[in-house]
Amino acid sequence: MMRVLVTYKVKADRVAENEELVRAVYAELHAIGDPDIHYATFKKEDGVSFVHFASFPSKEKQAILSGCAAFQADLKDRCEIPPSPAPLTEVGSVNFV
């Protein structure tokens, strides 16, 4: 299982736009309906920092997410701190996908 954590901070005046694009990614993923894609997005307490967690069984499944139209939008232009993807290696978990 491949897992990745992505963190970034958007410009304060672009938070609503970022949230709208994140929701568009989820709408596209729901339409695709692939049960092998596990993906979650969270906004931190500061209101401008976002954390994305994704889990895939293969690079092919990962490509489905990265191929979403809204996922391709100008994220770097919206960011104060650009995305920092970090592959994760599981050490232990309970009921976690």
- 37-54: per-residue pLDDT in tens? 999 999 999 999 999 999
Q: Which residue(s) pair with 52 in the sheet?
A: 6, 41
- Strand 49-56 relative to strand 38-43, pairing: antiparallel
Structure confidence at residue 70 (pLDDT): 83
Q: What is the pTM of this model?
A: 0.90
Structure confidence at residue 76 (pLDDT): 79
Average pLDDT of the segment spanning 25-36: 95
Average pLDDT, the chain: 93
Provide the pLDDT confidence category of residue 20 given band limits of 50, 70 and 90: very high
Amino acid letter, 28: E
Element spanning 27, H or E: helix 15-32
Domains in the chain, please, with CATH?
2-88 (3.30.70.100)
